[in-house]
């Protein structure tokens, strides 16, 4: 019936058109796979024209083409629009003999289609979103064996859609996972930076008569280092300066570093000299239950004090497994 060849309710919107939009998004540019399917269809039917088209509400897009020059036409009944509404293969021996097809611009105008055969392209969930079609500019018949292959070609288009949708899904999942990993890496870096800042002084103190400078470069920017240093007042006249190295990296080493650093500061206030300070630190870390048998550190600790005559500073240095400091004299 003529009413069955116009735009049905399925063409006016809803899930089918959503499926068409998704298909167009998957085939946004030139499509060699769909061109290949069109070329195969033309070879099977020995026709000069063939196409894989997606049928929208206002337009029909030829995403796979053989012999056709136009990328799209308006969605008028008679050819692709009508074929997409059919559940089976749609055949016109002579389009001029059909009242709807005869006024279609591709029949009445260029390229002057007469023979037309098409099978609907369905999505995996059953929406008919387009057709695989073959066309000729002369009226003709098609063999049953040829027509039986059109639905198979339409099935190939469906397979292409599903493969591309699966590929897009994989890419989206990978991008989401990458975004989560980047966010987690930023979070860990922030935590590491914050933790590292608590293990080293944010600025060096001003000590009259001494110039102080520091260069601290962690082995890895992605982990909390096990190296630590500090400069602090022991009392009104003495200053403590130390450099230490904890075995390992990461949070466990950072916890041990914090214990060692603040043990040095505490011991320096109550012990008479550097050797006693390091002995007290050794006892503190040895008794700490979180230290474990495999956790240890080396420390070089110096007690600095100005002499009574004010001409030069005196330093008493003790080592706990650490390389000795380098003394660079003037001249």
- The two tokens of residue 80 are 């692709």
C-beta contacts of 73-76 below 8 A and 24+ residues apart: 73/105, 73/106, 74/105, 75/7, 75/11, 76/103, 76/104, 76/105
Q: Taking the chain, what is the end-to-end CA distance rounded to the nearest angstrom? A: 109
Please list the ranges in the chain whose pLDDT falls under 70.
Answer: 1-13, 26-30, 191-199, 218-225, 249-251, 290-293, 310
214-268 pLDDT, tens digit each = 888 766 655 566 788 899 999 888 899 999 888 876 667 777 888 888 899 899 9
CA angle at 287 for the pair 284 and 291, rounded to the nearest 5°: 95
pLDDT of residue 201: 79
Answer for the pair 24, 61: CB distance below 8 angstroms, yes or no: yes
**Coil vs helix vs strand at 21:** helix
pLDDT of residue 9: 37
pLDDT of residue 126: 83
Residues 261-298 as b/e (b if ≥16 CB within 10 A, e otherwise) read: bebbbebbeebeebbebbebbbebbeeeeebeeebbbe
pLDDT of residue 224: 63
Distance CA 161, CA 169 (A): 12
């Amino acid at each position: 019936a003529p009413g069955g060849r116009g735009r049905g309710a399925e063409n006016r919107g809803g899930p089918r058109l959503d499926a068409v939009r998704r298909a167009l998004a998957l085939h946004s540019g030139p499509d060699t796979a769909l061109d290949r399917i069109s070329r195969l269809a033309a070879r099977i039917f020995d026709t000069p024209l063939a196409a894989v088209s997606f049928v929208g509400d206002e337009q029909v897009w030829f995403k796979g083409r053989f012999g056709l020059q136009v990328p799209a036409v308006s969605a008028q009944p008679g050819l692709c629009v009508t074929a997409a509404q059919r559940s089976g293969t749609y055949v016109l021996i002579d389009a001029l003999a059909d009242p709807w097809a005869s006024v279609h611009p591709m029949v009445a105008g260029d390229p002057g289609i007469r023979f037309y055969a098409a099978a609907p392209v369905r999505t995996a969930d059953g929406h008919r979103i387009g057709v695989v079609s073959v066309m000729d500019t002369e009226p003709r018949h098609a063999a049953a064996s040829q027509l039986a292959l059109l639905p198979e070609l339409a099935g190939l288009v469906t397979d292409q859609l599903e493969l591309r949708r699966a590929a897009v899904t994989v890419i989206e999942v990978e991008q989401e996972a990458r975004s989560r990993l980047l966010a987690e890496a930023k979070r860990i870096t922030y935590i590491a930076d914050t933790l590292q800042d608590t293990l080293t002084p944010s600025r060096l103190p001003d000590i009259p008569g001494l110039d102080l400078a520091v260069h601290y470069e962690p082995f890895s920017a992605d982990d909390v280092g096990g190296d630590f240093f500090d400069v602090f007042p022991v009392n009104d006249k003495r200053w403590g300066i130390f450099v230490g190295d904890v075995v390992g990296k990461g949070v466990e080493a950072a916890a041990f570093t914090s214990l060692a650093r603040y043990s040095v500061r505490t011991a320096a206030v109550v012990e008479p000299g550097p050797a006693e300070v390091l002995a007290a630190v050794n006892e503190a870390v040895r008794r700490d239950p979180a230290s474990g048998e495999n956790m240890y550190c080396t420390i070089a600790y110096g007690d600095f004090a100005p002499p009574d005559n004010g001409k030069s500073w005196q330093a008493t240095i003790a080592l706990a497994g650490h390389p000795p400091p380098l003394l660079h004299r003037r001249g």
